[in-house]
């Protein structure tokens, strides 16, 4: 990668981290080893700029299995969700590049590998790719550029998993931008999971919901 590309990647990731809440940065800090070196440094810089403290006890205990509950208030943010299935090494490498550029930790296959080179399962049988709940909006955006060459997902499965564009409830525009993840404690009374906060570029309407709308 040339210097201009490296600088551009740094700026994209740094801007992404500047838009995260303190809690979201702490969640990512506890999964730092899954990030690229550039993303790790950008994350450390943002945490340092905000003078945040990642509790030491979280780093001295054995590393929890990705997505497995630990009793932490951030467990819901760490929940894993499958974003797609890859059927070949070249598709896996393409997807890894997109997610790495976006600074999104991912886990491939039942072994939850954090890189294609660590996958031991057979791509011929399909390898599921998962990301943490906190990264869903950005993973969805990164997936817009994903063009698999060996996709064997059936038409029915694609229809079942296909996500519809998020639309503004006021003007129905699709020019919607994800703003932030609202923690449970800050969400409306009775909510048991974080809310996604959106803003419409067309009319300026802001609202919260459970995430990206699925086709019914």
Tell me the pLDDT tens digit for each residue of 44-76: 888 889 888 877 544 444 566 666 666 666 667
- Give dist(CA 17, CA 42) in Å, integer: 8
Residues 62, 73 within the same domain? yes
Nearest CA among 35, 73, 29 for reference residue 48:
29
Residues 106, 9 within the same domain? yes
Residues 188, 157 within the same domain? no
Domain boundary among 161, 178, 204: 161
Cα within 13 Å of Cα(30), Cβ side? 29
Residues 77, 101 within the same domain? yes
35: helix, coil or strand? coil
Per residue in 111-128, pLDDT (tens digit) is: 999 889 899 999 888 999
Per residue in 154-187, pLDDT (tens digit) is: 665 555 544 545 677 777 777 777 776 666 455 4
Residues 50, 100 within the same domain? yes
pTM of the shown model = 0.52
Residues 208, 107 within the same domain? no
- Give dist(CA 212, CA 164) in Å, integer: 7
Asked which of 17-26, 120-129, 179-188, 202-211 is least confident by mean pLDDT, the reply is: 179-188
Look at the chain and report how many structural domains it folds into: 2
| CATH number of domain containing 191 | 2.20.25
pLDDT at 109: 92
pLDDT at 79: 81
Residues 147, 208 within the same domain? no
Residues 147, 175 within the same domain? no
Residues 186, 136 within the same domain? no
| Residues of the domain holding 102 | 3-161
Per residue in 27-38, pLDDT (tens digit) is: 888 877 778 888
Q: Is the pLDDT of residue 86 over 70?
A: yes
For residue 84, the cross-strand partners are: 129
- Give dist(CA 52, CA 162) in Å, integer: 38
Domain boundary among 115, 145, 161: 161
């Amino acid at each position: 990668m040339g210097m201009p590309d490296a600088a551009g990647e740094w700026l994209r990731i740094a801007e992404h981290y500047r838009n995260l809440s303190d809690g979201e940065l702490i969640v990512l800090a506890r999964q730092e080893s899954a990030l690229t070196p550039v993303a790790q440094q950008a994350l450390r810089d943002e945490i340092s700029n905000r003078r945040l403290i990642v509790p030491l006890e979280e780093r001295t205990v054995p590393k929890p299995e990705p997505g497995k509950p630990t009793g932490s208030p951030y467990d819901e943010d760490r929940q894993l969700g499958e974003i797609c299935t890859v059927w070949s090494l070249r598709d896996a490498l393409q997807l890894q590049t997109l997610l790495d550029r976006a600074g999104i930790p991912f886990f491939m296959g039942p072994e939850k590998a954090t890189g294609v080179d660590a996958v031991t399962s057979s791509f011929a049988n399909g390898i599921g790719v998962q990301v943490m709940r906190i990264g869903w909006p950005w993973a969805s955006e990164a997936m817009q550029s994903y063009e698999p060459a060996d996709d064997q997902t059936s038409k029915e499965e694609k229809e079942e998993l296909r996500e519809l564009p998020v639309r503004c409830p006021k003007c129905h525009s699709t020019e919607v931008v994800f703003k932030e993840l609202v923690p449970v404690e800050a969400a409306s009374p009775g909510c048991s999971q974080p809310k996604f906060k959106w803003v419409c570029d067309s009319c300026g309407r802001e609202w919260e919901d459970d995430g990206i709308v699925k086709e019914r």
